[in-house]
Amino acid sequence: MAKVFHLRRTSTLALRQRRDRLLHSLLIPRDLLRASFVERFTTCGKPNCCCSRGERHGPFYYLAAGLTAGNVRKFLLKSPAQQAAARHGVAAYRAFWDQLEEFSQINAELLRRGETLDPPRT
């Protein structure tokens, strides 16, 4: 779900300035990951195992990315370094997406006001 930016009461000049700042700051992070960081606990099914009494095995950490309908790439993150990198990459994606969403909403608001999306000619 996209974050909603309340822009209707912001001046057109302020919107254009914010959009310019966003445009200059929009850099794709090298560690960006469009995926989910998943923590799972499992049971093995052995009758004498502690998981049969409610204690589950884990946590196990996975990175899961939906590629197309029915095609999900998921793999186990074994080391703490992999887990930290995955967490950071997913957070970088979310931050990048929020900036891109704000940029898009500013453009939509400018169009709603009858403004052009091109920079003003001087």
Give this prediction's pTM: 0.77
Average pLDDT of 19-30?
91
pLDDT of 51 higher than 80: yes
- pLDDT at 119 > cutoff 70: no
Give a three-class secondary structure readout of the chain: CCCCCCCCCCCHHHHHHHHHHHHHHCCCCCCCCCCEEEEEEECCCCCCCHHHHCCCEEEEEEEEEEEECCEEEEEECCCHHHHHHHHHHHHHHHHHHHHHHHHHHHHHHHHHCCCCCCCCCC
What is the overall mean pLDDT for the chain?
A: 90
Q: What is the pLDDT of residue 67?
A: 79
